[in-house]
Amino acid sequence: MLKTITVNGKALKVDADPSTPLLWVLRDHLGMTGTKYGCGVAQCGACTVQLDGAPVRSCQVPLEAVEGAVKTIEGLSADGSHPLQKAWVELNVPQCGYCQAGFLMAADALLKDKPQPTDADIDAAITNICRCGTYGRIRAGIHRAAKQTA
């Protein structure tokens, strides 16, 4: 199936089976390896990207269902200047870092929806899993980024 999808503001042609998960389209067909494979069953969130601004687990979205704009970690900012990326660095949020692209994409969507989220808002919206347990630093990073964008 030849399909054009918009990723990070660019229209890109993809030739892949319609059932191919968006995760593998991004990684294997488009060379965008920032989005990570974690569990493959939409539980961990390592593969989180945005589809029309909403966070989705890309391991469970088939290419044929992709309509609208996809935003990946590569589209957050090319130079690390996004407030979330700055906060992540300033607070040394990641430990191993494997899951952090998914957290950043979920947090970016949250801040667009709720620019000054409460802890309860963060807990409800950020359902990704971090095996290293850096949840306190992730929450602090989201709050810091919210202050930077206010």
**pLDDT tens readout for residues 64-117:** 999 999 999 999 998 999 999 999 999 999 999 999 999 999 999 999 999 999
What is the CATH classification number for the domain harbouring 142? 1.10.150.120
Same domain? 6 vs 52 = yes
Q: Is 69 helix (H, G, I), strand (E, B) or coil?
A: strand
- Residues in a beta bridge with 24: none
pLDDT value, residue 1? 87
CATH assignment of the domain containing 21: 3.10.20.30
What percentage of the chain reaches a pLDDT higher than 70? 100
Same domain, 55 and 102: no
Residue 23: which domain range?
A: 2-75
Distances, alpha carbon 4 to alpha carbons 61, 135, 140, in Å: 15, 37, 38
